[in-house]
Copies of this chain bind each other. A is one copy, B any other.
Amino acid sequence: MGTSTKPRFSGVIAPLVTPFGDDGAPDPERFVTHADWLLNNGCNALAPFGTTSEANSLGLDERMELLEELVDSDVDPGKLLPGTGMCSVADAIALTQHAVDLECGGCLMLPPFYYKAPSEEGLFRYFAEVIESVADDRLKVYLYHIPPIAQVGFSLSLIGRLKQEFPDTVVGLKDSSGDWANTKSILDAYPDLEIFPGSEAFLLDGLRAGAAGTISASANVNATALRDVYDNWKNPAADDYQAKITAVRKVFQSQPMIPLMKAIIAHYRHDPAWARPRPPLVELDQSVAAAAIATLEREHGFRMDFRES
């Protein structure tokens, strides 16, 4: 049981954006380059195949191939928390098994999100089937609660039941409800879970209440500033650092977040291909992206430096 109490993930984690080449296929070279850059520029770990990664717009094979590319590079698989939750329990088992075989540190699992208002029993059975099918002590599951998008989420009761049944496997949760009261209630109920608010707006409050860090879209472009909060959260400067990242986040949220993250990377990498999302997402108008970047630079001193990569 000792293993379940050792935190595996902490700090600033980027839900890695996925670049697409001219042919619309995922581009492993840009993908690995960005992953490597993030780990050298503020990120403690990476969560490929999250919402920001357009994971559900990727094919099953594409996800597996991209993960293999990451692991084949010099990225430590222990620092990878890939998304493996799918509508289909069969596909979820395949992705989860694959991630465990590659020695990934954990799996961030969406609930099955097609049928709305499923019963707690049905959701429990889905996770039980994945965990019992993979049947591997190395599997560490992080529940991914994002009701604004998945609609289907995790009640306190479901979290508790999964944790009780699989104490060495269900070890964490990302809360992208955008509702601090919800995050707080989970932190209070299950202090031994590794909890990650899905927005850095709650990073300092989260850390003070026992959260492990944050898994946030913004970490793709603003990880070092997020790290200022994480590394200094017990210091007097923490509130100022938090105020800075909260203000920058407001600019990020002024546009569709995922296309904006990609447009920012495209801008600072001088690589327009980076701006391309996959349907149903669409790229930002160039003028809109340029205006947002100008605001970030002028009002927040924002920039990304890719020279060394």
Instruction: Give chain B residues whose Cβ lies under 8 Å from the Cβ of A118.
Output: 280-281
- A143 CB to nearest chain B CB (Å): 14
Which residue of chain B is the closest to A24 with respect to CB atoms? B129
Which residue of chain B is the closest to A114 with respect to CB atoms? B56
CB-based contact B24/A279 at 8 Å: no
Instruction: Give chain B residues whose Cβ lies under 8 Å from the Cβ of A94.
Output: 59
Q: Mark A43-67, 1 if CB is under 8 A from B, else 0.
A: 0000000010000111111100000
Q: Mark A98-114, 1 if CB is under 8 A from B, else 0.
A: 00000000000001111
A91: Cβ under 8 A from any B Cβ: yes
Stretch at the interface among A119-127, A230-238, A242-250: A119-127
CB-based contact B87/A57 at 8 Å: yes
Instruction: Give chain B residues whose Cβ lies under 8 Å from the Cβ of A123.
Output: 279-280
Instruction: Give chain B residues whose Cβ lies under 8 Å from the Cβ of A113.
Output: 114
A286: Cβ under 8 A from any B Cβ: no
- A114 CB to nearest chain B CB (Å): 4
- How far apart are the CA atoms of A51 and B114 in the complex, in Å? 9
Measured as residues with beta carbon below 8 angstroms from the partner, the interface class of chain A is 35 or more
- How far apart are the CA atoms of A13 and B156 in the complex, in Å? 41
Instruction: Give chain B residues whose Cβ lies under 8 Å from the Cβ of A62.
Output: 90
- How far apart are the CA atoms of A280 and B92 in the complex, in Å? 13
A2: Cβ under 8 A from any B Cβ: no
Instruction: Give chain B residues whose Cβ lies under 8 Å from the Cβ of A58.
Output: 88, 90
A288: Cβ under 8 A from any B Cβ: no
Most chain B beta-carbon neighbours within 10 Å: one of A57, A58, A148, A280? A280
Q: Mark A77-102, 1 if CB is under 8 A from B, else 0.
A: 00000000001111100100000000
With contacts A118-B281, A122-B279, A280-B122 taken as known, whether A60 is within 8 angstroms of B112 at the C-beta atoms is: no
- A237 CB to nearest chain B CB (Å): 37
CB-based contact A57/B112 at 8 Å: yes
Most chain B beta-carbon neighbours within 10 Å: one of A60, A123, A149? A60
Instruction: Give chain B residues whose Cβ lies under 8 Å from the Cβ of A114.
Output: 51, 56-57, 113, 149-150
Instruction: Give chain B residues whose Cβ lies under 8 Å from the Cβ of A24.
Output: 129
With contacts A24-B129, A129-B24 taken as known, whether A278 is within 8 angstroms of B89 at the C-beta atoms is: yes
With contacts A114-B149, A149-B116 taken as known, whether A56 is within 8 angstroms of B88 at the C-beta atoms is: yes
A135: Cβ under 8 A from any B Cβ: no
The 10 lowest CB-CB distance pairs between A and B, nearest first, are A59-B90, A122-B280, A118-B280, A126-B279, A56-B114, A125-B279, A56-B87, A112-B280, A122-B282, A59-B91
